[in-house]
Chain A
Amino acid sequence: MEIHRYEKIWFGVAVLLIVAFIGTVAYGAVGAGIEMVDDDGGTIDPNNLSDHERFGDTGVHQVGDGEFEVNMIAVHPSFIPNDIEIPEGSTVTFYMTASDVTHGFNIAGTNVNSMIIPGQITEITVEFDESGTYGFVCHEYCGSLHHEMEGQIQVVPEDEFGGDA
């Protein structure tokens, strides 16, 4: 088979490029410590959420010094809870599931972005270092009012924080 020299060069460069891409992503995972959403949250029966120890008790819970857990149910067209307050510098683990159809969760302008699927628990941990208001939306079509599905996270300075909501 005749392959032109230039084409061989390009083949080599293309393979290098691919390896470099994979390398960058691996660095992001290991070096920068970015975790993927995975199966850690476990599964759940979407028809009996209220019996579940977590989702029978939705809302924000302080579990340690600067550590919070948010138990959230997505059900068209709302997030429960949809108004979350936490102090600056906290580490928040979100446990999210859906009782009806598939939803999404994206804190606008950040890298916090995941799916919420009935039967699965999405577990993600996020550090909020800067105070401010973070709006989040549902970014998966979930029904005729999908575009109304939103919420807010208020990250307030330590001294203004009202405590366990």
Chain B
Amino acid sequence: MGVFAHEYPNEAGIVRAALASSFVALLLGGVMGLIQALHRTGYVQVIDDSTYYTVLTLHGVSLAILFSIFFLVGFFQWAVTDSLDRPSEDIRFTKLWYALMVLGSIMAAVPILGGFIDQTEISADVLFTFYAPLEAHPLFYAGLAVFIIGTWLAGIDWFRSWWAWKQKNRGEKTPLRTFMVLTTMLMWYLASAGVAIAVIFFLLPWQLGLVGGVNPLLTRTLFWFFGHPVVYFWLMPVYMMWYVILPKLAGGRLFSDPLARIVFVLFLVLSVPTGIHHQYVDPGISEGFKFLAMTNTMFLLLPSLLTAFTVVASIEHGARQRGGSGYFRWLTDLPWNRPAFTGMALAALMFAAAGFSGMVNAGMNFNYLVHNTLWIVGHFHLTVGTAVALSFMASTYWFLPKITGHKVFSKRLGLVQVVVWFIGMVFMSNAMHRIGLAGEPRRTADPFYDGVTFETSLGTISELHAQIALGSVLLVVSLLLFAAHILLSWFNFADKDAPTPDTIPPALSGPEHAPAVLENFRLWTAIAIGLILLTYTLPIAAIVSGNGWFGPVTTFIGDTSSFLTGLFHAVFGVIP
């Protein structure tokens, strides 16, 4: 195999474009993060308290939605084309979904940015969760919808490639990377249906005055139907990196290919019916449904715990092939001087820590301790903010040469960058967890109250604030290093040569050992849908019977509203 950029120039172009979009969002979001961290700790306040929420919306949307998903589609496009070894079936279609995603991003960004300009009425200060009845400009919701439709078409594109490949390779196992892409996309179709329904059937009609109101608990529940599995959407490409790239970088081979497939199938089946764990302390949902969501959530730990074993074992295999020995001494025989390896390994280490705070969040009544405090923010800066973001950045050092056709600027600079991110996040996240236990709320511009004090057992609140501020500065330094490095590499300032083509070594236990039933995507999707119906039908029925599809109906176009309500009842059947 040659270099990807030369073999598949059109596809490489799309991958480059997707990565570029992703990095623009990362840089923008990161700078917003710094403003927030310094503002809410009281160190530097360059914006008004009320503008804080515009900044936070921009941070959440650009990082959690745009950065992560643009990177994902770029990476998946490479994974599919490279592992099936065939070009896109129709590159115009590939360009179409990318263009839709860009269009959607711009549509959503315009009203958010409008929030900075006092002269305009246009704004979207609703944070990335946009809980109704908070209202954003309709363009915001429409943009999100267009963006998501773009990702749906991307999935179709990859399925088309796979079907075409299958015609020529009957009876063969789907290559691992494509298998991972397809299971991830199936999960995504199920998950994003929740938010699409919320936007298209409830939020936009409500905003456009077609229906009388909105049922806030219903749209909130639909949001979290999507909001939990979306974290797996961020994570599954990272798992792919950890399974496929990390062992190779360590000088080893993936321990077990079949187990990797099982893990992805488990994610497909279990990711969606867990969203209610974000609503443990919501009124209007009974304890039984919450307990059920918790049970699913806890079992969803299983694929991650299995991943921990398989990935570490694959890395250890590399260390031993490089001459490592002992129970722990082999750790020193890993290529720690390589930024791609080190960054991803540190990201995985952070994810292990995040696993623990996630277990606390998941523990139903345990959630009283931490819900909506800064602990949660500390938690997800370890997961999406590091396990995902740092893996994406680190893998870029390995990945970029394949799609640009020349080596990256400097490995040492890359190494410094990933280590600084890690250190910055240790400070910021640790302090956030602890200050959250003291009760400091998240999403709060100025958490200094007249009548409320926060107390922490070790140290003081102001020390913790200092750590958050310090961490955020380090993080942004790391981010700027990354941006500079990418620019220097992209335009090849150091005039580097073409990369030596490399291949991914086969797994120790290969795909031939995987049971054939794993390839039965229909079966797994059906089981996933079954579980979703089991966990969601009754809670949604209860929410709707309490307050209607569109909230307690007000006068506004009351007739249209009751007509649509009737229509919904007919369509959805059973619910009174």
**A/B contact in complex, CB under 8 angstroms:** yes
Please name all residues of chain B whose beta carbon is closer than 8 Å to the beta carbon of A110 when the two chains form the complex: 439
Question: B368 contacts A34, CB within 8 Å?
Answer: yes
- Residues of A in contact, count (CB < 8 Å): 69
Task: Say whether B441 contacts A106, CB under 8 Å.
Answer: yes
Rounded to whole angstroms, the CA-CA distance of A42 and B543 in the bound complex is 10
Question: How would residues 3 to 34 of chain B score, 1 for a CB under 8 Å from any chain A CB and 0 otherwise?
Answer: 00000000000000000000000000000000
Separation in Å of the B218 CB from the closest CB of chain A?
A: 9
Task: Flag the segment in B166-174, B390-398, B447-455, B481-489 that touches A.
Answer: B447-455
CB distance from B522 to the nearest CB of A (A): 21
A158 to chain B, nearest CB (A): 23
Q: Is the CB of B220 within 8 A of A117?
A: yes
User: In chain A, what residue has the closest Cβ to B446?
Assistant: A147
**A14 touching B305 in the complex, CB below 8 Å, given contacts A34-B368, A108-B454, A121-B283:** yes
A112 at the interface (CB under 8 A from B): yes
Pick from A37, A113, A145, A146: contact of B443, CB under 8 Å: A146
Pairwise interchain contact A3-B259, C-beta atoms closer than 8 A: yes
Cα distance A137–B444 in the bound complex, in angstroms: 10
Q: Does A119 contact B (CB under 8 A)?
A: yes
Contacts of A114 in B (CB 8 A): 281-283, 371
| Residues of chain A lying within 8 A (CB to CB) of residue B542 | 39
Segment from B345-353, B418-426, B546-554 that makes contact with A? B546-554
Partner of A119, one of B127, B513, B551: B551
Is B515 among interface residues, defined by CB-CB distance under 8 A?
yes
Q: Does A66 contact B (CB under 8 A)?
A: no
Within 8 A of A (CB), among B33-82: 49-50, 53, 56
Determine the residue in chain A with the shortest Cβ distance to B372.
Answer: A139
Contact residues in B for A161 (Cβ distance below 8 Å): none
Min CB–CB distance B363 → chain A (angstroms): 5
Q: Which chain A residues (84-142) contact chain B, with CB distance < 8 Å? A: 100-102, 104, 106-123, 133, 135-142
Size of the B side of the interface (Cβ < 8 Å), in residues, is 78
**Does B514 sit within 8 A of A, measured CB to CB?**
yes
Interface string of B281-325 (1 = CB under 8 A from A): 111111100110011001101100110011001000000000000
A18 touching B298 by the CB < 8 A rule?
yes
Complex Cα distance, B551 from A100, in Å, reads 13
> Are A102 and B368 in contact (CB-based, < 8 A)?
no
9-residue interface stretch from A20-28, A57-65, A67-75? A20-28
Contact bitstring A139-154, B, C-beta under 8 A = 1, else 0? 1111111110011100
A interface majority secondary structure? mixed
Known: A7-B309, A22-B298, A47-B552. A118 touches B216 (CB 8 A): yes
Q: Report the bound CA distance from A28 to B291 in whole Å.
A: 12
Given A39-B285, A102-B220, A115-B281, do A24 and B363 touch, yes or no (CB 8 Å)? yes
Q: Does A46 contact B (CB under 8 A)?
A: yes
CB distance from B49 to the nearest CB of A (A): 6
Q: Check A37/B282 contact, CB under 8 A, given A108-B438, A111-B368.
A: yes
Which 10 pairs show the lowest CB-CB distances between chains A and B? A135-B452, A108-B439, A139-B441, A144-B50, A139-B372, A45-B552, A43-B546, A120-B283, A14-B305, A122-B283
17 A-B pairs in the complex with CB atoms less than 8 angstroms apart: A14-B305, A28-B365, A29-B287, A36-B281, A37-B280, A39-B284, A39-B286, A43-B284, A106-B371, A110-B439, A118-B133, A122-B283, A135-B451, A136-B452, A139-B371, A142-B134, A147-B444
Query: In the complex, given contacts A18-B302, A39-B542, A104-B441, what are 7 additional A-B residue pairs having Cβ atoms less than 8 angstroms apart?
Result: A29-B291, A29-B364, A38-B286, A39-B546, A106-B439, A122-B283, A140-B372
Which A residues are within 8 Å of any B CB, using their own CB?
1-4, 6-7, 10-11, 14-15, 17-18, 21-22, 24-25, 28-29, 34-39, 41-43, 45-47, 100-102, 104, 106-123, 133, 135-147, 150-152
